Amino acid sequence: MTEERTLPVRAGVDLGGTKIQAAIVGPDGAVLGSARRATPVEGGPGSVAAAIASAAHDAARAASVALPARLGIGTPGSVDVQQGTVSGARNLSGFDGAVPLAELVARELEAEVRAPRVVLGNDVGVALDAEARLGAGADLASFVGVWWGTGVGGGVVLRGERWHGRGAAGEIGHVVVSIGGRRCPCGRRGCVEAYAGRRALEERARRLAARGTPTRLFKIAARKNRERLTSGVWARALEDGDELAGRLVDRAVRAIAAGAASAVNLLDVEGVVVGGGLGTRLGPEYAERIAAAMQPHLFRAERPPSVRVSHLGDLAGAVGAALL
């Protein structure tokens, strides 16, 4: 055991709007330890950086290893890798302008780690890299990732490498599935995310409930002490047979399926990997529903892609960040 622990381990953190997930990854890609905490909603980038450092330390403790000097962070927003800054991370409170997140976290780590080095990457992008190397995409040369969460993110992996285009490729959540359709949180109309993102689903549910459509969604949230309709709330409502939840999630499935089928018709990839908060939570049953709803749109219907759920689940982002 002592010998094993001297092998190089990697540390990664997935920074989300609601939680910070840290993981320590062994040389073979196995998760040796992990830790999670709520994302601070007060104190701005400084407290977020401190929480990231603490989560990383907790994960190292859970893995019984010393925290490595190099820490990868997957973050929402636009990342400038060279500068170590994040911009446009709207879900993180106080993240205005270009936040020097790498430097802030490095400073937090300095007390206990010698010469810490912090590397940033896009949250969905690193999660997809992890799935491509160690997870649901490891046996697929090419696939499309659909990260079904608060929004709908994604990515395109071609011959094992993420395709970046001019830097912003992979926006499967903003593939248009209904011209002139519903308004998306991004401001455009008819995007996949307008029907499938958790934020859009919640807005829709609130509006319909206010108009008198019966639903247990908000009671379940209250019972779980949640202000938001989290993935767990949706999962529970679906299990309970809540009609409104069922209807909205069916529609989300159809939107994701149309977007994924469009991507497959365009790229003829071997697979579709579904991840993200909702995707992971709803699991294989809903991946099958997505596959079934894709079928009538597939140009080569006789040879559908393999649709599967992220293997790394909630840890995909942290593992991917560790691989940065």
Residues contributing to the site for a second copy (CB under 8 A): 142, 144, 156, 158, 163-172, 174-179, 186, 188-191, 254-255, 258-259, 261-263, 265-270, 296-297, 299-300, 303
Nearer residue to a second copy within complex by CB, 163 or 218? 163
Smallest gap from residue 61 Cβ to a second copy (A): 40
Minimum distance of a second copy from residue 133's CB (angstroms): 21
CB of 14 to a second copy, least distance (A): 22
Q: Which is nearer to a second copy, 123 or 314 (CB)?
A: 123
Instruction: Identify which of residues 158 and 208 has a Cβ nearer to a second copy in the complex.
Output: 158
Q: Please answer whether residues 74 and 63 qualify as being in contact, where contact means their C-beta atoms are separated by less than 8 angstroms.
A: no
- Token digits of residue 261: 């089928």
Q: 318: closest CA among 54, 49, 55?
A: 55
Beta carbon of residue 307, minimum distance to a second copy (angstroms, whole number): 15
Return d(Cα 246, Cα 149) in angstroms, integer.
17
Q: Which residue has the tokens 């609601």?
A: 18
Asked if residue 8 lies in contact with residue 68, where contact means CB atoms within 8 angstroms, the answer is: yes
The CB-of-33 to a second copy minimum distance in angstroms stands at 36
Determine whether 14 is exposed, middle or buried from the number of CB atoms within 10 Å of its CB (0-12, 13-18, 19+). Answer: buried
What angle is formed at CA 252 by the lines to CA 250 and CA 256, rounded to 5 degrees?
Answer: 120
Q: Compare residues 62 and 158 and give the one whose CB is closer to a second copy.
A: 158
Measured CA distances, 140 to 152, 265, 267, 307 (Å): 22, 17, 14, 11
Backbone phi, then psi, for 115, in 5-degree steps? Answer: 45, 60
CA distance 314 to 2: 29
**Contact, 120 vs 79, CB < 8 A?**
yes
- Contact between 98 and 43 under an 8 Å Cβ cutoff? The reply is no
* Closer to a second copy by Cβ: residue 259 or 313: 259
Residue 46 CB, shortest distance to a second copy, in Å, is 30
Pairing of strands 85-87, 78-80: antiparallel
Q: Closest approach of Cβ 6 to a second copy, in Å? A: 41
Closer residue to a second copy (CB): 166 or 211 = 166
Instruction: Kindly tell me which of 93 and 306 has the beta carbon lying closer to a second copy.
Output: 306
